[in-house]
Amino acid sequence: GWRPPRGLRTRTGGLRAERPAESSKQVSVPKAGKEETLLSAAYRVKEAGKDFTYFIVVLVGIGVTGGLFYVIFKELFSSSSPSKIYGDALDKCRSHPEIIGVFGESIKGYGEATRRGRRQFVSHIEYIKDGLKHMRLKFYIEGSETGKQGTVHVEVKENPEKGRFEFRYIFVDVDTYPRRTIVIEDNR
């Protein structure tokens, strides 16, 4: 018979290469031909295209995130946001002696009810009059006195010198008996 060449031995029907006993390992690399150069250039263009696409996706993500942070900052911390004006008006209501006398000590405010029953939306409208921004808000208050509720109406006007809104008026309609209107601030 036939004998496999030196370095190859059969085991359970298959061929397997054995390592030669030589101590030096030399590897010869063939020179790249035109096909391989074209292939590697096409591969590099493809990879550059992928990298550019990922770069654009990251830039868009950063832009969207920055926009969200801007809107959140403007809504929560700006002196001209409806939330900030609502908070300032509610503080004025809580510290006014006549309001405390009618509604009680612990006065809480809330906005319009949504479909889910949450009352966080403060109704507001913005408009421009005489070249200045104005905003009107409407929200509701109730206190520790049982059954006492009121509707608060607020109007603010932009002060161009200070760059912020100033209160024009705040008045509270008492919605329960005896009905009346309490004026907190009137700077018309």
Name the residue ranges covered by the structural domains of the chain.
35-78, 82-186
Q: E strands along 130-176, which residues? A: 132-142, 149-159, 164-174
Does residue 60 or residue 80 have the better pLDDT?
60
Position 188 confidence tier, pLDDT thresholds 50, 70, 90: low
Judged against a pLDDT cut of 80, whether residue 177 lies above it is answered with yes
**Mean pLDDT of the region 62-85:** 84
**Mean pLDDT of the region 159-176:** 90
Using a pLDDT cut of 90, give the percent of the chain over it: 46
Using a pLDDT cut of 70, give the percent of the chain over it: 74
Residues 1-30 pLDDT 10s: 666 666 555 555 555 555 555 555 666 555
Judged against a pLDDT cut of 60, whether residue 120 lies above it is answered with yes
A 10 A CB-CB count for 54 gives 10
**Mean pLDDT of the region 160-174:** 90
Q: Which two tokens stand for residue 145?
A: 């006195």
A 10 A CB-CB count for 102 gives 20
Class of domain 82-186: alpha beta
Measured distance CA(90)–CA(166) in Å, rounded: 15
Residues 95-110 pLDDT 10s: 999 999 999 988 999 9
DSSP 8-state class, residue 27: -
Judged against a pLDDT cut of 80, whether residue 38 lies above it is answered with no
Measured distance CA(146)–CA(31) in Å, rounded: 93
**Mean pLDDT of the region 114-121:** 70
